Amino acid sequence: MRKGLRYELIRNTNELEQLTPEWNDLWEADGHATPFQTPAWLVPWWHSFGAELRTIAIRRHDALVGLLPFYVYCEPRSGERQLLPLGVGTTDYLDGVFSPQLSVDDVSGALELLYAQDDWDALYVSQLRLASKILEALELSAPGGQRIETQSCSRMPAVPMGELPQKIRRNAMYYRNRAQRAGHLELTIADESNWPEAFDALLRLHTERWRAHGDPGVFADERVIRWHRESLPVLERLGVLRLLTLRLDAEIIGVMYALLDPPGRTDRTEYFYLPGYSIAHADLRPGAVLIALATEYAAEEGVRTVDMLRGDEEYKKIWHMERTRTFGFVSYREKMRMTGEGVMAA
């Protein structure tokens, strides 16, 4: 145990839920953390997808100074017991939350507690940014492990519509003006009173669009719907939710589900997580208009960067986005046992 630190292994949901107030405070203090590391995002995710919790809390003089949210998932076909981060598969940036004073060596101590458990076969971590303390600690403390590159994300400056790249600016303005000639066009922001309406519209529009391409879409899984319905009101109260709707004569023709860094960050980012567009209004290009207006609104809020997250969709190339690399780490328990020097005693 590192001097002055205590590592706690959290194995049940009640203990995880009880951490929420401290977890929120730690998240706000961690300038590297995104909204995807809040308990508002991850605790509802756990309620819908959880299996065997293996989260590590790091305390200094009883204060929470670090949290590594992991769990064990048994892969049904192979039977492999996988040690994974909460949010995996549905979250574009994964990580823990840490006090700025907590060192990488301190985080390694928490990982060593995970390694000492005998109920997992392989550790798979993905979507970590280069400055992640978990990534650095894994490379320091996991003998025989390997860093890998995972899906990159796409970022661009948050600017008014008039400052967008020329081609997309012309398209967005043309179709915005065309929609305005067809009726009253308005961008609205959902609040505690009407987020269910906006989310229901997102479910419908997103599903219709994907089914038109022969794919059921992410909302075909009822667990995904249940997770977001639980998470959305908590995110809204936390002030990090931006559920934006594009309305034409009061009809919702586009929805952007976005999350926002808290005020006070030096490089505040808004994350465009999930869009939905009306295929019945495809001639008005509601997707392009919605993204342009949402980006403009973000700039007005003082946001510096818009992050459209994972995916290689063609439209991201048109928006002149920069790629942000992410990384993962893979390690096998048996290999660690053979190569580790006292980390995992047989």
Question: Is 26 exposed, middle or buried (CB count within 10 Å of its CB: 0-12, 13-18, 19+)?
Answer: buried
Tokens at residue 300, please?
């007005």
pLDDT of 13 over the 80 cut: yes
Q: Poorest-confidence range of 23-37, 145-159, 310-324?
A: 310-324
Q: Report residue 92's pLDDT band, with 50, 70 and 90 as the boundaries.
A: very high
The CATH class given to the 5-152+325-339 domain equals alpha beta
The second-level CATH assignment, the architecture, of 159-303 is 3-Layer(aba) Sandwich (3.40)
- What is the average pLDDT across 226-245? 97
pLDDT over 60 (residue 1) = no
Q: What is the DSSP string of 190-250?
A: --TTTHHHHHHHHHHHHHHHHHTTT---GGGSHHHHHHHHHHHHHHHHHT-EEEEEEEETT
Which residue ranges does the chain devote to CATH 3.40.630.30?
5-152+325-339, 159-303
Residue 266 in this model has a pLDDT that exceeds 90: no
Q: What is the pLDDT of residue 343?
A: 45
Specify the range with the lowest mean pLDDT, choosing from 180-189, 241-250, 331-340: 331-340
The pTM of this model reads 0.93
